[in-house]
Amino acid sequence: MPRLLGWRYASLPGDARKSFEVALHAGSTPVLAAVGLRAGRRAGESLDPAALALTLLPPVAAGLALERPIERRLGGMRSVGLAQIGAGAALLLADRMPQQRNENNVGDHLAVGLGQAIALVPGVSRSGAALTAGRLRGLSRPASLRLALTSAVPVTLGAAALKSMRATRAGAHPELVGAALAGAGAAFLSAAAVSPLVDRLEQARSYAPLAVYRIGLGLLALATAGRDR
């Protein structure tokens, strides 16, 4: 979006850009958590902290091992576009799986955790990767959505806490702090505004519109990539 809108975002240091992006995720997380809890209550599910902790293991391990290489080598318009297209195609294929189960298990949480780890690649949506993992495991669309919403909370909050500590140690510039707070606030408000649409995803008959949207964004990114990696 910064490239499409003509912002000089790419000139910022990689750590600054990543911290700002994590702030955006952190801003929307409380709304996603509330939507997920509402969906769980409607389905008669209770929050299982131990099971949710399993979703943290793959992204934490991948983040510690690969975060720096990913930040150095990925994130250009071309790589983001290809990731968007690949993630959209994966969701489109996964959604063709039969809806076999409405209740998740340990394997589902680990699979969603792997999806969250893959989402470290810029352009791969964290929630989209979780939806894809759930559908590949044979979960119904409502069950996949509930798991995607609740599993995003610990991962996003953990990433936000880590980036905040790093920014504090590095002595973040006051203007970056202000921008991060403004971005988090805007993300919270926009997430709250569209939360009724997220609720309606429980009744979705297909995730094809989401997949096509992702593929379209990827094609737009490729069309404007120029010489970006």
The answer to whether residue 211 is domain-embedded is: yes
Whole-model pTM? 0.80
pLDDT attached to residue 25? 80
Partner residues linked to 101 by β-bridges: 139
SS3 for 139?
Answer: strand
The answer to whether residue 2 is domain-embedded is: no
**Encoding tokens for residue 118?**
């893959």
- 8 Å CB contact between 43 and 142: yes
- Please give the DSSP secondary-structure letter assigned to residue 158: H
Mean pLDDT per block of 10 residues along the chain (229 residues) reads: 74 72 82 79 72 82 80 79 93 92 87 88 86 92 86 76 68 71 91 84 86 92 71
The answer to whether residue 1 is domain-embedded is: no
Q: How far apart are CA 184 and CA 60, in angstroms?
A: 23
How long a stretch of residues is the chain?
229
Domain of residue 37 covers 13-223
Q: How far apart are CA 116 and CA 46, in angstroms?
A: 22
Q: How far apart are CA 39 and CA 33, in angstroms?
A: 10
The answer to whether residue 7 is domain-embedded is: no
The answer to whether residue 111 is domain-embedded is: yes
Q: How far apart are CA 32 and CA 21, in angstroms?
A: 16
CA-to-CA dists, residue 116 to 86, 119, 126, angstroms: 15, 5, 6
pLDDT attached to residue 93? 93
Backbone φ and ψ of 137, nearest 5°: -80, 0
The answer to whether residue 229 is domain-embedded is: no
The answer to whether residue 84 is domain-embedded is: yes
**What is the number of domains present in the chain?**
1
